[in-house]
Amino acid sequence: MQIESLKVYCDLVETQSFTKAAQVNGVTQSAVSQQISALERTFKSILIERSKKNFRLTREGEVLYEHSKQVMQTYDALHARLQAVKEVVSGNIRVATIYSIGLHDLPAHIKEFLKQYPTVNVHVEYRRANQVYEDVIGNVVDIGLVAYPNRDSKLEVYPLRKDPLVLICHPEHEFAKNKSVKLKALSGQKFIGFEPDIPTRRALDRILKDHSVEIHHVMEFDNIETVKRAVEIDAGVAIIPMSTVVQEVAKHTLTQVALADGEFFRPLAAIYKRTKVLSPAMKEFLALLRKGV
C-alpha cells in the first residue's frame, strides 16, 4: 500500500465523487476504483456501501478516513517542513477563483509570483462562488478566491483587500455628467444586476434596502463582464467593483460615478481548508496576493 492510495481515498470521501477524485489526482475513474478495491483487500473490509445511490461510508470506511486524514496531514507537514529547511519554494498550487478576481486581479499577481518563483506551477480554475467553496472543501483545489467570504468551520479566511463599489452608466446617460450620485436617485432607473445567488448581489440588495431604495432589475447576469456589456449598450445602470471597470473608463465606453451616500466596499479574500498544510509556495502566494503588485 502506498500513501498515494490513502490520498485518493481521502479525496474520494471529501468530494463524494469518483470523477472529482480522479481529476484531483490526475488519474482515471477506473484507477480510483482499483485503488479503493486494493485498500479493501489490504484491510479486509468493505469501505463504501456501493448498493446505495447516495455516497456512504461503512463504519470501517469512516475509521480508515479519520486515520488517513491524520497520515496525510503528517505527510504534508513533513513535506512542507523539508522544503522550508532547504529554503525551496516549488511545487503546484491549485486555485479556484470567481470570474471577476480571475480576470481583473489575478493575472498581474500570478505574473509577479512566477517571476519570483519560476519553479512553481499555478493552475487556475474559473468558477461561480458556490463552486469555489465546494472545490476548496472537497480538496479539488488548494486555495479559493472569493468576494464577501462566508464563515465556515471547515475553512480559514485570509482577507486580501477591499474593492470600492461605484456606479457605472453609458457616457450619454444623465448620471454621466455628475461626480457623484445618491442611491435614492436610482429609484425608477433601469438597473442591471447580478443573479440573486451571487454574493455581490446579496450585498447590494442589503445596501439598497438599508437606504430604502427600490430598484427595477431589467437584466440579471452571473458575471461582471456581461453586466458591463449591458450597460455599454445603455440598457441600464449598475453598481460594480471599481477595479473591474478600469479599462472601459479609460476607453470612454463607460462612465464611473461615485456613490454620494458613503464609501461602500466589496471585501476580497482567499479561503483554504482549515486542515490544509500550506506549503512554502502557498504561503508566499497568499502573502503576495495580500500585498498586491
**What domains sit in the chain, N to C, each tagged with a CATH number?**
3-84 (1.10.10.10), 86-161+268-291 (3.40.190.10), 162-266 (3.40.190.10)
- Per-10-residue mean pLDDT of the chain, 293 residues long, equals 84 87 87 90 88 81 89 81 72 92 92 92 93 90 95 93 96 95 93 93 94 92 94 96 94 96 94 90 93 68
Give me the helices (H) in the chain, please. 3-15, 18-25, 29-43, 59-85, 99-104, 106-116, 129-137, 199-210, 224-232, 246-250, 280-291
Residue 23 near residue 138 (C-beta atoms within 8 A): no
Distance CA 130, CA 143 (A): 14
What φ, ψ does residue 138 adopt, rounded to 5°? Answer: -80, 5
- Whole-Å CA distances, 47 to 30, 39, 42: 17, 8, 11
CA 233 to chain centre: 30
pLDDT of 139: 84
Count, in order, helices (H) and strands (E) of the chain.
11, 10
Position of cell 466596499?
265
Q: Which residues pair with 164 in a beta bridge?
A: 265
Q: Provide the pairing of β-strand 143-147 with 265-273.
A: antiparallel
Return the H-helix or E-strand segment holding 120.
strand 120-126
In whole angstroms, what is the distance from residue 19 CA to residue 228 CA? 35
CA 173 and chain centroid, separation: 34
Q: What is the pLDDT of residue 52?
A: 61
Contact 186, 259 (CB under 8 A): no
Q: In whole angstroms, how far apart are CA 39 and each of 10, 54, 92? A: 12, 21, 27
Q: What is the pLDDT of residue 256?
A: 97
Give the containing element (helix H, strand E) for 209. Answer: helix 199-210
Other Cβ atoms within 10 Å of 58 Cβ, number: 14
Distance CA 107, CA 101 (A): 9
CA 81 distance to own-chain centroid: 27
**What grid cell was written down for 218?**
431589467
